[in-house]
Amino acid sequence: MNYILLILIFFTGGLIRADSKPYKGKAHQIPGKIEAEHYDEGDPGKAYHDIDKKNLGVGYRKATQVDIEKRPDASNGHGIGWTRKGEWLNYTVEVKESGTYTIEMPVASNKMGGLFVLEIKGKALSLPILIPDTGGWDKLKLIKCAGVKLTKGKHVIRVVMLAQGPSGSIGDIDYFRFVKNSK
């Protein structure tokens, strides 16, 4: 009997915890642009993981410890900063067309940045992406990752921070724009 009770508690607990849910209830459309600061809604460990114990940026979104940076040069006036190894962010997406995509990302780093990768269900969509020295934290530079294959439908893309560079960070990211390649 106790065993069954434990199982019940386990499942109920699972239901109460907030899962990774699309930002503002709407999956990001691909092809299209995903603001880095518009990661999924949900609890830490479900929608995101951030190493820093408290928000290092601005209070752009309530109830989050992801470090969002206010910056006038960025799309939507914000981006992700203070990125560290082991951190990750989920983005629920709706891919409209299967195919090969190029991801365009404005990034910034003072000195050479680090490595990150985009995954779906633990499978990397490309080789690790390096954030270069862009000449300063206040200087965004567009980098591209080509040859990303996506299938039509709903997915959760996870951006995983892999390794810090000489900058001490992975780097600042403004957005991810998915551009479909012509055949």
- Among residues 94, 136, 97, 92, the alpha carbon closest in space to that of 113 is found at 136
Interaction of residue 79 with Ca ion, rule CB under 5 A = yes
Question: Taking the complex as a whole, how short is the minimal distance between the CB of residue 106 and Ca ion, in angstroms?
Answer: 8
> What is the nearest approach in angstroms of Ca ion to the Cβ of residue 139?
15
**Size of the residue set binding Ca ion (CB under 5 A):** 11
102 lines the binding site for Ca ion (CB under 5 A): no
Answer yes or no whether residue 76 interacts with Ca ion by CB under 5 A.
yes
Structure-block tokens of residue 91:
């983005």
Q: Does 82 sit near Ca ion (CB under 5 A)? A: yes
The one segment of 43-51, 90-98, 111-119, 135-143 that binds Ca ion by CB under 5 A: 43-51
Q: Under the criterion CB under 5 A, does residue 34 sit at the interface with Ca ion? A: no
With binding defined as CB under 5 A, does residue 172 bind Ca ion?
Answer: no
How does DSSP assign 120-172, residue by residue? ETTEESSSPEEP---SEEEEEEEEEEEEEEE-SEEEEEEEEEEE--TTSSS-E
The Cα 181–Cα 79 span in angstroms is 26
Select 20 or 64, whichever has its Cβ closest to Ca ion.
64
Which residues in this chain contact Ca ion in the complex, by CB under 5 A?
35, 50, 52, 67, 74-76, 79, 82, 174-175
